[in-house]
Amino acid sequence: MGRLVVVSNRVALPRRGEPTAGGLAVALKDVLKANGGLWFGWSGETLKGPTTGEVKAVRYQGIDYATTDLNETDYKGFYAGYSNNILWPLFHFRLGLLEYDRKQAAAYRRVNRDFAKALMPLLAPDDVIWIHDYQLIPMGAELRALGARQRIGFFLHIPFPPWAVFSALPGADMLLRDLLAYDLVGVQTKRDLAGLVNCMQDGLELDIDAGHGVTATNGGIQRRTQLSAHAIGIDTRSFATTARKAAFGPDAQRMKASMGDRQLIVGAERLDYTKGLPHRLRGFAALLANFPEHLNRVTYLQVAARSRNEVASYRDLRRELDQLAGRINGDYAEFDWSPVRYVARAVARDTLAGFYRAADVGLVTPLRDGMNLVAKEYVAAQDPTNPGVLILSSFAGAAETMDGALLVNPLDPEAMAEQLDRALKMPLEERRDRWSSMMRGLEEQTASRWAENFLAELEEQTLPAEPPAAWTAPAAVRN
């Protein structure tokens, strides 16, 4: 394989002494180092005036990083607008929150085109390009329109809905056609693959071959796009080591001292309406109401780092969580016990690892999720001799393979309460059996294995013999 070029919406330029990155970043950095790679994307900086298209480059630990800026108008339209107000709720089946705006749609296309123009001069003929996530769906088509003939893969890290949901998006067919510029399109789960296949069949009326490939013609050139599911993992051994060390750190020790002999339930993610956080609090309230033997015997710690404060639905969610946590504490707290500890700010990853290891129950209940790596991190963090229990939403992608979890529908608070009661009372032998089964899966399907498998499949794809610039993006979105 030639040089790997990874493209993501945001690229944080490395700095000496910064904290350890998460599993996905580690996996991508490892594969970039192995292939002498380039990581390209938005710098995170916004400019007052027009963008210049300037690319900032730096080399660090064998990887080249290249970033470009956005101006404030494009940031609001491309990122805060179309990506977060339109695509995010659409892909998570939340049509009632979708706020379509043509100017934002135009900004989304324009930024993808500008990114392609900025990346194109940096490419070599034998490069392999790997584009990530919903912010950059059209970028492959824009690169093809500029004459890119390299292998280009795309991976979606969030769910892919069926056509019945996807068709609510104005211009849905154009976004689907953008995917046909790629040689390989990857999603997280079999369920997401079924949604993608359904969109190609019902939305574009294309046939899917026996190998999950779809062939389409553009500019007189036929291109076959492979559709595939690749479940992402974590750096399992590294995270287990981090948790083992963090358990003896000051934060975990303070947590244990404050708990006394009470059991601990933990949940941790950023504040987002897809995570089922209000449903989780209602389920915990139902536990205290229906199983009073747990009163003053269990504490629920929820970390929900604030995000996207500029979006009204996120501000509404924060208010709802504040009210629910306050109500539960008001109804059930004792002078020496608060049933809910709600932290609405970011907590260091190492500290969370120590909390996971100390927790008797990991509560992960998204309403819809592409995978959910918190569930995997909770399992990896456990003490093998005395592991906790994972309660997992059946709507999380991780539910397809984590057979040792207790599955729950987050829309049913009574059922969640029953599973919480079961987890808190589960015998040690059953906990060990469930944990061992999941841990074996995590050790087999790591983040590095996910990256290797995707790139190996991308390398297997047959490229068409086409002249440069044969591909054209959908006519309605060109200047």
> Residues 157-192: pLDDT tens digits?
999 999 999 999 999 999 999 999 999 999 999 999
> Looking at the domain assignment, is residue 478 inside a domain?
no
Distance CA(307)–CA(92), nearest Å, equals 17
Q: Is the pLDDT of residue 361 over 90?
A: yes
Q: What is the residue range of 187's domain?
A: 4-232+448-465
Residue predicted with more confidence, 107 or 472: 107
Which one from 132, 157, 279, 294 is the annotated catalytic residue? 157
Instruction: Please report which helix (H) or strand (E) contains residue 472, including its range.
Output: none
Q: HSE, CB side, 13 Å, CA atoms: give it for residue 349.
A: 14
Cα-based distances in Å from 264 to 212, 213, 419, 472: 44, 47, 15, 56
Distance CA(1)–CA(151), nearest Å, equals 10
Q: Which residues contact 323 (CB under 8 A, 6 or more apart)?
A: none
Spatial CA neighbour of 139 closest among 252, 312, 250, 9: 9
Q: Is the pLDDT of residue 367 over 50?
A: yes
User: Are residues 193 and 61 located together in one domain of the fold?
Assistant: yes
**pLDDT-derived band of residue 474, with 50, 70 and 90 as boundaries?**
low
- Provide the pLDDT for residue 470: 58
Distance CA(299)–CA(358), nearest Å, equals 12
Q: Which residues contact 18 (CB under 8 A, 6 or more apart)?
A: none
Amino acid at 455: L
Q: CB of 290 within 8 A of CB of 414?
A: yes
Strand partners, 173: none
User: Are residues 161 and 219 located together in one domain of the fold?
Assistant: yes
User: For position 421, which CATH number holds?
Assistant: 3.40.50.2000
Distance CA(362)–CA(302), nearest Å, equals 10
**What integer is the mean pLDDT of 130-149?**
96
User: Are residues 248 and 354 located together in one domain of the fold?
Assistant: yes
Each residue's pLDDT tens digit, 331-349:
999 999 999 999 999 999 9
**What integer is the mean pLDDT of 373-394?**
97
Amino acid at 82: Y
Distance CA(4)–CA(183), nearest Å, equals 15
Q: How many CB atoms lie within 10 A of CB 248?
A: 10
Per the structure, the count of domains in the chain is 2
Least confident of 32-41, 113-122, 428-437: 32-41
For residue 429, the 8-state DSSP code is: H
Q: Is the pLDDT of residue 477 over 50?
A: no
Reduce the DSSP state of residue 236 to 3 states and report it. Answer: helix
User: Are residues 198 and 303 located together in one domain of the fold?
Assistant: no
Instruction: Determine whether 157 is an active site residue.
Output: yes
- Provide the pLDDT for residue 24: 66
> Looking at the domain assignment, is residue 108 inside a domain?
yes
Distance CA(134)–CA(144), nearest Å, equals 18
Mean pLDDT of the chain: 92
Task: Give, rounded to a whole angstrom, the gap between the first and last alpha carbons of the chain.
Answer: 35
**What integer is the mean pLDDT of 230-245?**
95
User: Are residues 223 and 317 located together in one domain of the fold?
Assistant: no
User: Are residues 264 and 367 located together in one domain of the fold?
Assistant: yes
User: Are residues 125 and 193 located together in one domain of the fold?
Assistant: yes
**What integer is the mean pLDDT of 138-148?**
96
Spatial CA neighbour of 184 closest among 140, 231, 119, 138: 140
Beta strands 389-393 and 406-408, pairing class: parallel
> Looking at the domain assignment, is residue 477 inside a domain?
no
User: Are residues 246 and 223 located together in one domain of the fold?
Assistant: no
Give me 36's structure tokens: 């002498």
**pLDDT-derived band of residue 17, with 50, 70 and 90 as boundaries?**
very low
**What integer is the mean pLDDT of 80-103?**
94
Least confident of 2-16, 261-275, 393-407: 2-16
> Looking at the domain assignment, is residue 470 inside a domain?
no
User: Are residues 300 and 204 located together in one domain of the fold?
Assistant: no
User: Are residues 295 and 418 located together in one domain of the fold?
Assistant: yes
Give me 134's structure tokens: 């919903």
- Provide the pLDDT for residue 29: 80
Which one from 127, 192, 235, 369 is the annotated catalytic residue? 369
Whole-prediction pTM value? 0.93
**pLDDT-derived band of residue 218, with 50, 70 and 90 as boundaries?**
confident
Residue reference for tokens 């008001």: 330
Beta strands 340-343 and 361-364, pairing class: unpaired
User: Are residues 216 and 311 located together in one domain of the fold?
Assistant: no
Q: Is the pLDDT of residue 476 over 50?
A: no
User: Are residues 389 and 324 located together in one domain of the fold?
Assistant: yes
Least confident of 23-32, 47-56, 326-335: 23-32
